[in-house]
Amino acid sequence: MPIDVITAFIGFFLTLIIFSYLIGDNPLFRIAVHLFVGVSSGYAATVICYSVLLPRFTTLSLGDPVQLVIGLVPFFLGATLLTKLTPRISWIGSFALAILVGVGAATAIGGALIGTLIPQAQAAMDALNFRSAGSSSEAVFKLFDGVVMLTGTVLTLAYFQFSAKRAPDGTVKRNPILELLAWGGRVFIAITFGVLFAGVYMAALTAMIERLSSLINFVKSFLG
């Protein structure tokens, strides 16, 4: 029996086991979950060794001590991270961990500032730039798009404004105007969450269709 058939069977039964969750939690579902986690971890370890570590070793220049030392530094720092498994010597891996956190934070902050905040601010301002619009209808659409975007942004920010004053009867109420703006912001937030939920549903629906298609195709392959 070819490997594809075996993997097809395994895939078919595992898919059914996963679908068994519709009738409730069952051992088969747990077996499929544990099997997926185990296979994924093993595969990830293998990938790391073969695609990360071994290439590094193979590229070490043994003739150049400087390059060799520089090439061994990542291995050394990576090895110190293993000391985190033992509390006694976990401090050894703190330096490598600090480097990872520091470098990652700096990179994320730089990338967010340059790649998200500034470009998105410029894009929000360009939303109301009608000169870029080719036609009047496109300008109207762009104006509407810009107004909606601006309104949604303002109202959403107003919704998260929780400053209020205490009334004489002890109750806390926000400013009526701010309360109205917050209500509009709540509408925009609801639409956003609805869109996200729809995207999740569509992603899941697509995955389910792919699985059903796989099952049907497997069955069709056996049925001829």
3-state secondary structure of 129: coil
Paired strand residues for 166: 172
- For residue 60, report the phi and psi dihedrals to the nearest 5 degrees: -70, 135
Q: How far is the CB of 175 from other proteins (least distance, A)?
A: 30
Which residue spans within 103-206 are E strands per DSSP?
165-166, 172-173
What stretches of 68-116 adopt beta strand conformation (E)? none
Structure tokens at 205: 């629906």
Using CB under 8 A, which residues numbered 146 to 185 contact other proteins? none
CB of 8 to other proteins, least distance (A): 13
* Among positions 35, 48, 98, 147, the unique one binding other proteins when judged by CB under 8 A: 48
Residue 87 phi/psi, 5° resolution? -60, -30
Q: Does 70 bind other proteins (CB under 8 A)?
A: no
Contact with other proteins (CB under 8 A) among 5, 31, 79, 203: 203
Q: Of 11-40, which residues contact other proteins (CB under 8 A)? A: 19, 22-24, 40
Tell whether the torsion through CA atoms of 74, 79, 82 and 86 is positive or negative.
Answer: negative
Positions touching other proteins (CB under 8 A) are 19, 22-24, 40, 43-45, 47-48, 50-52, 55-56, 58-59, 100, 103-104, 107-108, 110-112, 114-116, 119-120, 122-123, 127, 192, 195-196, 198-203, 205-216, 220
